[in-house]
């Protein structure tokens, strides 16, 4: 038995085919590395004098918004690399830039609308911070919060308890608000990243078209 055990330990570990190994490295690169590199922009690292877009998202939604936004940015990085292997004309790049910019602006406006209409910020002096809740666009206007603002209702009557807040404002309305907020946030983040990628491709295309200048492609 000891001989068989020693022999099994000496057996070489099967190696992945080269193409599969490169695929694994690319998957890790476009998922893990992109997320780590964009950690400050995604709000995972504190940067002095910089407030990330993530601060607009309620704490209860952030565990969903962060992975989705990171995945979307990874897809954008992959698309930039994909299009970088081909020669794209300036006209095509301008068209894509215009469309992407339009979607990005619409997403930003939608995000501002959701933040203004369906999100409530409550100042909590005891914690020296502001707590954010998704409550939907309407206030029930019923007991125990009749004739009270949504912020006052959450602070004084609902005691910042998210379960009670969901029950009072309606679980369906709250969940729809969270879904739309995450969706719009992810679209804005990914289209902004796409704009940067298109700018990069446009600069590379301009360098390639310049006489005597070539830009290396990775």
DSSP assignment of 62-109: HHHHHHHHHHHHHHHHHHHHHHHTS---HHHHHHHHHHHHHHHHHHHH
Nearest CA among 175, 157, 153 for reference residue 166? 175
Lowest average pLDDT, out of 38-42, 65-69, 108-112, goes to 38-42
Which pLDDT belongs to residue 147? 86
Question: Once rounded to an integer, what is the mean pLDDT over residues 91-112?
Answer: 94
Which pLDDT belongs to residue 27? 86
Chain mean position to CA 32:
14
pTM of the model: 0.81
Q: Which two tokens stand for residue 122?
A: 């409550």
Per DSSP bridges, beta strands 129-134 and 119-124 are antiparallel
Which residues, other chains included, contact 52 with Cβ-Cβ below 8 Å and sequence gap of 6+? Answer: 40, 41, 42, 43
CA gap 45, 215 in Å, rounded: 33
How does pLDDT run across 126-173, given as a tens digit for each residue? 778 889 999 999 888 888 888 899 999 998 899 889 999 999 999 999
Report which of residues 81 and 86 the model is more confident about.
81
């Amino acid at each position: 038995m000891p001989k068989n055990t020693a022999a099994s330990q000496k057996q070489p570990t099967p190696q992945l085919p080269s193409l599969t190994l490169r695929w694994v490295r690319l998957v890790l690169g476009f998922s893990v590395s992109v997320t780590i590199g964009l950690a400050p922009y995604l709000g995972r690292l504190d940067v002095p004098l910089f407030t990330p877009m993530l601060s607009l998202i309620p704490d209860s939604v952030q565990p969903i918004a962060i992975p989705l936004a990171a995945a979307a940015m990874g897809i954008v990085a992959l698309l930039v690399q994909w299009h970088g292997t081909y020669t794209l004309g300036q006209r095509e790049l301008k068209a894509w830039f215009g469309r992407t910019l339009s979607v990005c602006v619409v997403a930003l406006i939608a995000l501002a609308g959701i933040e203004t209409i369906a999100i409530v910020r409550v100042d909590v002096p005891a914690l020296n911070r502001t707590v954010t809740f998704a409550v939907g666009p309407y206030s029930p206007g019923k007991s125990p919060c009749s004739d009270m603002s949504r912020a006052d209702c959450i602070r004084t009557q609902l005691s910042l308890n998210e379960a009670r807040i969901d029950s009072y404002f309606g679980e369906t309305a709250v969940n729809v608000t969270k879904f739309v907020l995450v969706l719009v946030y992810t679209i804005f983040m990914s289209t902004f990243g796409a704009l940067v990628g298109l700018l990069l491709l446009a600069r590379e295309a301009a360098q390639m078209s310049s006489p005597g200048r070539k830009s290396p492609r990775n």
